Amino acid sequence: MTDVRPAVGVGGHRDGPESAVSAQHDTGSVLHTLFHSEQGGHEQVVLCQDRETGLKAVIAIHSTALGPALGGTRFHAYASEENPEEAAVKDALNLARGMSYKNALAGLDHGGGKAVIIGDPGQHKTEALLEAYGRFVDSLGGRYVTACDVGTYVQDMDVVSRASRWVTGRSPENGGAGDSSVLTAFGVYQGMRASAKHLWGDPSLRGRKVGVAGIGKVGRHLVGHLLEEGAEVLVTDVRPEAVEQITAAHPEVVAVADTDALIRTEGLDVYAPCALGGALNDETVPVLTAKVVCGAANNQLAHPGVEKDLADRGILYAPDYVVNSGGVIQVADELHGFDFARAKAKAEKIHGTTLAIFERAAADGVPPAVAADRIAEQRMAEARKAGAAS
């Protein structure tokens, strides 16, 4: 049987002699981030290895103040100039912290966590590897609950669940909720309506010109919501076949050559980044014509300060981790016996949450991203205080 003890435990309850064993690579910058930077403060980081299956993984638990950490499992190769293992740890730390904030603002009784399996999912993903990973998840005793992320899918969570009960995002056949992109898109749509309400006084998107960059599972559903409301929709994607599929299904949708052309479109009301992170950066913000940015992509702000650049240009930014939380709302509901209507009702509250963030931003004189962070941090601090007092 595979030894499922964590190779390295930081701040958790499973530290022992083996916790002093670390990778031979330089982890100084990672440890500095963990222990000394504002991006750190994580409760526990677990390095997982199963040589028989080739599994190398990182599980990062940022906070359990609100409840068990909840966040997906990313399967990625990390083709980086730096050490790929160190890059994976950095990614896990960043993503886990983001999940704490996302879950707090989604009103969930969950903290934030994230896992990364290092490798090319097209080459290295096997059922044996996923089961080995599941044993590591199970060894944490419910402190971390996993789900799908980039490179993992519903069928993968079905396999992981063979080795652990702390798995969501499973197929309906296995007691799960299935594809979470439906409620992710619905939540982004609610955030977009809140943005319209705040900026133009009316939540309706009818007649608004909306550009969607990235029309994968979430983007396709979002386009559907927009068309139903009567918006004028423009799309782009790096995959020509994705564009062809959406325009074939909806001839009224306008295809744009690329993201650069999309963000420069004259008369664009809303820009919805729904592909990779870093979409809002020093090159894109100065030429962006839209008055609202509201999309499903994670980590849209390329670096600190971009949120101020948007505000200085009069562009309203709906924080990504707020509006794209419909998916985590869905998988969290699965832990209680999934009910789609119940989960959708919770996702609908993203509208009100987004409006509250805009109001807090105006009151505090800060960009919406800063206001969102403050609200999330307040909820987590209150939970920690209540926990300490009990």
Half-sphere exposure of 348 (CA within 13 A, CB side): 6
The answer to whether residue 114 is catalytic is: yes
Strands 55-63 and 209-213: unpaired
Instruction: Report the 10 Å Cβ neighbour count for 353.
Output: 21
Strands 55-63 and 44-50: antiparallel
Q: Check if the beta carbon of residue 190 is closer than 8 Å to that of residue 344.
A: no
In the set 90, 102, 114, 209, the catalytic residue is 114
> Residue 210 and residue 384: Cα distance in Å, rounded?
41
Return all residues near 90 (Cβ < 8 A) that are at least 6 apart.
Answer: 29, 30, 33
Structure-token pair, residue 286: 């100065």
Half-sphere exposure of 13 (CA within 13 A, CB side): 5
Quick one: which of 328, 211, 357 has its CA closest to 273?
A: 211
Q: At what angle do helices 340-348 and 350-364 cross, to 10 degrees?
A: 20
Q: Scanning the structure block, which residue is given the tokens 């100039």?
A: 81
> Residue 127 and residue 132: Cα distance in Å, rounded?
9
> Residue 97 and residue 25: Cα distance in Å, rounded?
24
> Residue 168 and residue 154: Cα distance in Å, rounded?
9
> Residue 73 and residue 239: Cα distance in Å, rounded?
24
Q: Check if the beta carbon of residue 360 is closer than 8 Å to that of residue 371.
A: yes
Return the active site residues. 114
